[in-house]
Homo-oligomer: A and B are copies of this chain.
Amino acid sequence: MARKIWKPGNMLYPVPAVMVTVGDSNINNIITIAWAGTVNSDPAMVSISVRKSRYSHGLLMKHKEFVINLVTKKLAYAMDYCGVKSGRDVDKFKEMKLTRGKASAVSAPIIEESPVNIECKVKDVISLGSHDMFLAEVVAVSVDEKYLDEKGSFDLEAANLIAYSHGKYYTLGEKVGKFGYSVRKKQTNKKYTRQKNKTKKDK
């Protein structure tokens, strides 16, 4: 297969497209972040990368806290807006008719219209060049009860989350499989149970 070699660039896709809230109850902002990811399972940790020039960068440095608000198809327009406009010029909550809610463990507000709010405390800030990476521990997660079924299971699929890929936003499409499906098919039930436990542990 013929391959073309490119110069180094950002080509890891799809990535999350999330609205991050920063500040406190008086001064706060929403910044859209695609350079975000989970970096550790136990304790649960995430990273977000933010340009030093951004208005939210100062609020992050001051409070060392933020909330990651997951973005649904319904919130996609507001998410895009919050990635283009600056909190120096506009009140993004007001402009996008989003509701500031109270987080349970950090001073930054949550976006109530978001199905999942991940409250984070910054553990380290690493300057990488264009961006500073904020390494943070998840201290609480709140979810909109409308996505809980009778058994209390959370149906994230129903939230219709958005991914970012190469300049475009997409909903999630066809479900291709569950984690571990490639080995489950081939095994007996007994082996399946064993494998399942093993892979869960090893996740």
**A139 and B8: CB pair below 8 A?**
yes
**B38 and A35: CB pair below 8 A?**
yes
Contact-residue bracket for chain A: 35 or more
Interface assignment of A30: CB less than 8 Å from any CB of chain B: no
For this chain, the copies found in one complex come to 2
**A37 and B35: CB pair below 8 A?**
yes
**B141 and A11: CB pair below 8 A?**
yes
**B76 and A177: CB pair below 8 A?**
yes
A84 to B163, CA, bound (A): 24
Partner of A142, one of B5, B10, B47, B85: B5
**A3 and B145: CB pair below 8 A?**
yes
Q: Chain A: residues with CB nearer than 8 A to chain B?
A: 1-16, 18, 34-47, 49, 51, 53, 68, 70, 73, 76-78, 80-81, 83-85, 101, 104, 112-113, 116-118, 126, 128-131, 133, 135, 137-146, 148, 156-157, 161-183, 195, 199, 202
